[in-house]
Amino acid sequence: MIKYFSIIMLTSANINPSLQKIESEIIKIFKSIDKDVFDMEKNPFNFMGKAARAKFTLLLGDTLGVKRRLAQEIAICAELIHTASLLHDDCIDDSSLRRGLKTINSKMGPNTAILLGDLIVSFAFDCAMKINPETAQTLVGSVKKMTEGALLEENLKYKKISRAQYDKIISLKTASIFNWCAIAVCSASDKIELIGPCSLIAKSVGSGFQIVDDALDFESENGSLDKNILKDITAGKITLPLILAMNDKACGNKIKDKVAKLQNENSANIHIALEIAETVKTGQFTDEARKTAKSMIDDIAPAMDELPSNTAKDDLKNFIYSLINRTS
């Protein structure tokens, strides 16, 4: 448990007690489920994962002088929505491993995983309503965008998509919940005039985070991540490293042929996926994708400068760079 302590953090503002509180509140919510509906004890479940959204919320909240209790409530909503979306995503990708545990879809079937995800969404809205109706309203908007992003990605599977189409997918499916965290936390502060820079920072962090996630899907060895590797490509999801490879004069056609071959197979062919991954890695397209994420984060410096200068902001910056440089 508490894997989230291992990532990062040499911070001056200690967010670990808040992370513990967030996790214990989420566990409490899950324990309130009728055992006949979903038996948590029989189906061990990891509630938090990396807690990237929670950490971002707490550190931005500290920077803006928001009370921890309020930032924690916002973080709980974000982590619940994220967990629900992963339950659905694992059904879409037919994944068997998530956060180091067997997925609910692989153990109990996709129906249970989808419905449990729906239940968790309802918990998140309950929590958001307790903050205030406006926060719940903006959360609806974020879930709408996440779902649009997942649908867009679904529609474009196996296609040769453009960088602009990819940017739209990740901005919707991943950056929108980071953006919601920023809007909710800024609205809870007495610095509402900073909503523009906060939102810009959050969108870049969300998109940068997803680009690194997509690079890791190619870079990682089996067993080195707490989820399945090569899941994007075997599920037909075309991500930035692959777009860069497909656009490359030297290997573009070879890659496109292999992606078409993958689509024509009845079941995901891991050998073709491994060949694609090898070409993507040796062509250094994952490195190029990572550079894109890094420059996205470098570009938020002027927005960062608009936030109050304090130690929490230094922690926030360090945290953002550790997310972008992560290797697992």
Q: Which residue is nearest to ligand FPP (CB)?
A: 150
Q: Which of 302, 196, 285 is nearest to 245 (CA)?
A: 285
User: Using the rule CB under 5 A, is 73 a contact of Mg ion?
Assistant: no
Coil, helix or strand at residue 108: helix
Binding site for ligand FPP (CB under 6 A): 81, 84-85, 88-89, 93, 117, 121, 143, 146-147, 150, 173-174, 213, 217, 227, 231
Question: Would you say 23 or 93 has its CB closer to ligand FPP?
Answer: 93
98 - beta bridge partners?
A: 101
Tokens standing for residue 305: 């400068």
Interface with Mg ion (CB under 5 A), residue from 89, 213, 214, 217 = 89
Q: How far is the CB of 107 from ligand FPP (least distance, A)?
A: 17
Whether residue 10 contacts residue 319, with contact meaning beta carbons closer than 8 Å, is answered with no
Whether residue 246 contacts residue 160, with contact meaning beta carbons closer than 8 Å, is answered with yes
Question: Would you say 73 or 93 has its CB closer to ligand FPP?
Answer: 93
User: Using the rule CB under 5 A, is 213 a contact of Mg ion?
Assistant: no
Question: Would you say 146 or 246 has its CB closer to ligand FPP?
Answer: 146
Q: Tell me, what DSSP letter sits at residue 228?
A: -
Tokens standing for residue 142: 């974020």
Q: How far is the CB of 170 from ligand FPP (least distance, A)?
A: 8
Q: Which of 50, 105, 112, 104 is nearest to 79 (CA)?
A: 50
Interface with Mg ion (CB under 5 A), residue from 73, 93, 219, 315 = 93
User: Using the rule CB under 5 A, is 153 a contact of Mg ion?
Assistant: no
Question: Would you say 71 or 216 has its CB closer to ligand FPP?
Answer: 216
- 145 vs 114: CA distance, rounded Å: 18
Whether residue 99 contacts residue 83, with contact meaning beta carbons closer than 8 Å, is answered with no
Distance of CA 77 to the CA centre of its chain: 14
Q: How far is the CB of 122 from ligand FPP (least distance, A)?
A: 10
- The site for Mg ion (CB under 5 A) is made up of 89, 93
